[in-house]
Amino acid sequence: MLIKYGTLDQNVLELLVRATYPRPDAIERLQHFYSAGQSREVFGWSVDGQVVCALGIERHPHRLEITHIASLQDRGGQGYGRALITAVREATGIHVFTAETDDHSVGFYRKCGFVCEELNSPYETKRYQCVLTPNSSLGNWS
């Protein structure tokens, strides 16, 4: 079930922090990031009353940028991230999604139907720009 957050509680922040670089002030940085702009929103996916996945987005004209997405450690790989993206697409009426990611998560985006291209990155790890268009189906997990 889709949840849209107006205020982020500690549980959602702890879930989103799984999608960030580990630092001591990560939760505070996330809280500030999502409270600093009206174009930023957080959604969750709930199963049996428990939030199992959270998605942070930033609205742009005609597209949504995924800024963070994370599932509970024991719930990863069960389709909740894909379900959450699908639900947000339907709820917002915006069907173009973008995300920048690394080797660790590029497979998730590709399985969800995103087209991902490697970026020229100043970082030690590879970075990818991923795009999901209105004509993209949200992947096949078989």
Identify the residue with better confidence: 76 or 93.
Answer: 93
Give me the domains of the chain, ranges plus CATH numbers: 2-95 (3.40.630.30)
**What is the spatial distance between Cα 88 and Cα 81, in angstroms, rounded to a whole number?**
11
Which one-letter DSSP state was computed for residue 126? Answer: -
Report whether 121 contacts 129 (CB < 8 A): no
User: What's residue 142's pLDDT?
Assistant: 38
User: What's residue 80's pLDDT?
Assistant: 94
pTM: 0.89
pLDDT at residue 95 tops 70:
yes
User: What's residue 23's pLDDT?
Assistant: 84
User: What's residue 141's pLDDT?
Assistant: 43
- 64-88: pLDDT as tens digits: 999 999 998 888 888 899 999 999 9
pLDDT at residue 24 tops 70:
yes
- 118-142: pLDDT as tens digits: 998 787 889 999 999 987 766 554 3
Identify the residue with better confidence: 142 or 62.
Answer: 62
Element (H, E) at 71: strand 63-71
Render the burial of 88-127: b for 16+ CB within 10 Å, e for the rest.
Answer: bbeeeebeebbbbbeeebbebbebbbbebeeeeeeeeeee
- 34-56: pLDDT as tens digits: 988 789 999 999 999 999 999 99
User: What's residue 75's pLDDT?
Assistant: 83
CA-wise closest residue to 3 among 42, 44, 58: 44
Residues in the chain: 142
Q: Which amino acid is at 82?
A: R
